[in-house]
Amino acid sequence: MLRLTQQVKKSHPSSILAAHIERGRSLFKEAIDHARNMVHDQEELPFIEILAIDADNTVIDSFSIPLLPIVPQEDYERFFELMKQLTVWWQELQTPGSQLGW
């Protein structure tokens, strides 16, 4: 990050903005891909049957729902690390006088 900051200070403002936008696009793509994979992995989870019964113990409705969410700790941590990076990226974009040079 320090090297990027040093390069940014030497660059033209439009180059700085373009580099920052590209970094954001990359972060968004990585976060989306990671989230998509986490959801895809949920397809393999078991389903449970939900039954609604009346006072006479007669089933009046039933449906299946997946047993969600079960997310491995490393996926959970990676997802929130990406969200943190995106938050920092957005704050840098919005902050006057930041490394972006506004």
Residue 54: the pLDDT is 94
> pLDDT of the chain along its 102 residues, tens only?
545 555 545 567 788 888 889 999 999 999 999 999 998 888 888 888 999 999 999 999 998 887 777 888 999 999 999 999 999 999 988 886 666 655
92 burial via Cβ count (<10 Å: 0-12, 13-18, 19+)? middle
Residue 3: the pLDDT is 53
Residue 46: the pLDDT is 84
Residue 11: the pLDDT is 62
